[in-house]
Amino acid sequence: MNLYAKSAVLTDADTGRILYGKDAGTPMANASTTKIMTCLLAIESGKIQDTVTFSEHACSMPKVRLGCPTGTQFVLEDLLYSLMLESHNDTAAAIAEHVAGSVEAFADLMNERAAEFGCQNTHFVTPNGLDRSDKKGEHQTTAYDLSLIMAACIQNDKFLEITETASKTISSIDGTFQAALNNHNALLSMLDGVISGKTGFTAKAGYCYVGAYRQNDRTYTFALLACGWPNHKNYKWEDSKALISYGNDHYENRTILKEEEHQTIDLNRTMVKTFGKNHYYFTNTLSVTKEACAFQILVSENDEITMNPQGQKELSFPVTEGDVVATEEILWNGLPVQTRRILADETLFASDYPWCLWEILLKWKF
**Positions marked catalytic:** 32, 35, 87
Instruction: Kindly report the number of other CB atoms within 10 A of residue 37's CB atom.
Output: 29
Residue among 266, 299, 300, 298 nearest 283 (CA):
266
Neighbour order of strands in the sheet with 285-290: 261-266, 285-290, 335-344, 324-332, 305-311
Single-letter residue type at 186: A
CA separation for the pair 117, 129 (Å, rounded): 19
| Exposed / middle / buried, residue 96 (Cβ in 10 Å: 0-12, 13-18, 19+) | buried
Phi, psi of 222 (to 5 degrees): -150, 155
Residue among 53, 1, 38 nearest 235 (CA):
1
CA separation for the pair 248, 275 (Å, rounded): 58
Q: Which helix (H) or strand (E) holds 163?
A: helix 157-163
C-alpha dihedral sign at 55, 58, 62, 66: negative
What is the number of H-type helices and E-type strands within the chain? 10, 21
DSSP 69: P
CA separation for the pair 271, 352 (Å, rounded): 13
Q: Which helix (H) or strand (E) holds 189?
A: helix 187-190
User: Is 198 marked as a binding-site residue?
Assistant: yes
For the annotated binding site, the residues are 198
For the annotated binding site for substrate, the residues are 198
